Amino acid sequence: MDQDVGGSVKQKRNAAEAGEPLSEHSSLGKVAGALTDVLSCGFFLLTWVAPLTVGVEWIGNLMAVMLVEFLAVHSGGLIGLPLLDPAYSRVRKTLIVVGAGALYMIFAGAFSYAMETWWPAAAFAWLLLSKLILVWLSPLPHAAERDRQKKLVGFSVLAYIGGIFLTTLLWVPELGVTDEVRNLADLPGSGLWVDDPQSVLAFGFLYFGATAWFKIRL
């Protein structure tokens, strides 16, 4: 009996050193870490299907989300590096993230100023949280966490570029985005996202859905 218990403890210790999940709590942590992406995915879909129910102003807001997402991908990779250092305390890591996040917030603030709305800055904070929350809720040993962050950043970039190509080259159904909705949204500027806003809603739905799936799968 004692040998079995000792063997189980040793296996868990070896798994931790190898960066493998230790228990079902690791899986729950992954799901919780992907929750922000699941919520974003669901809201993009809801706005695509029923924009009049959600509010047509959210079409422009979600367009801003996808504009600042690439900034969040870049900042998430850079700011995530201090989180991987085992020598840093949780308080110090938090201060570094907040400080670096404030620097990137300047760029998000520029988007807000240009678009005359506070939403891009708020979206950046939400998106940055979605990039870092997995480290806190489902931590891995140093080497394994470094590899996971590299994979996440790489996948996010590929999913972003791939999503743009898919929703640009392929036909995207209007669903709830009718001519009436386009007129009510009164989006500024020109281009595909302005002329056919269902494209950016489909893009966000696919992108955040794929990101959530990848986080859970890791």
Q: What is the pLDDT of residues 167-185, one digit of tens each?
A: 999 999 999 999 999 999 8
What percent of the chain has a predicted confidence (pLDDT) above 90?
31
Mean pLDDT, the chain, rounded, equals 77
Looking at residue 175, the DSSP 8-state letter turns out to be T
Per-residue confidence (pLDDT) for residue 5, from 0 to 100: 40
Lowest-pLDDT choice from 29-38, 135-144, 148-157, 208-217: 135-144
Report the Cα 171 to chain-centroid distance in Å: 25
Give the integer Cα–Cα distance in Å for 126 and 95.
17
Q: Residue 28: which residues within 8 A CB-CB, separation 6 or more?
A: none
pLDDT of residue 18: 42
Compute the residue count for the chain. 218
Task: State the Cα–Cα distance between residues 203 and 170, nearest whole angstrom.
Answer: 11
Q: How far apart are CA 100 and CA 118, in angstroms?
A: 20
Query: In the predicted model, is pLDDT for residue 41 greater than 80?
Result: yes
**pLDDT at residue 6, as a whole number:** 44
Q: How is the chain split into domains, by residue range? A: 25-217
pLDDT, tens digit, 9 for 90 and up, residues 88-121: 666 776 677 677 777 777 777 776 676 666 777 7
**Interval 49-93: pLDDT, tens:** 999 999 999 998 898 888 888 777 766 666 666 666 667 666 776
How many other C-beta atoms can be found within 10 angstroms of the C-beta atom of residue 60?
Answer: 20
Residue 181 is predicted with a pLDDT of 94
Say if residue 13's pLDDT is above 50.
no
Report the distance separating Cα 154 and Cα 111, nearest Å.
Answer: 24
Sequence-ordered strand ranges (E) for 107-156: none
- Residue, of 199 and 133, whose pLDDT is higher: 199
| 127: its two tokens | 């998106």
Given a contact cutoff of 8 angstroms between Cβ atoms, the answer to whether 40 and 65 are in contact is yes
The pair of three-digit structure tokens given for residue 125, joined into one six-digit string: 């904070």
d(Cα 177, Cα 54) in Å, to the nearest integer? 12
pLDDT, position 69: 81
Instruction: Choose among 79, 77, 67, 74: nearest CA to 123.
Output: 67
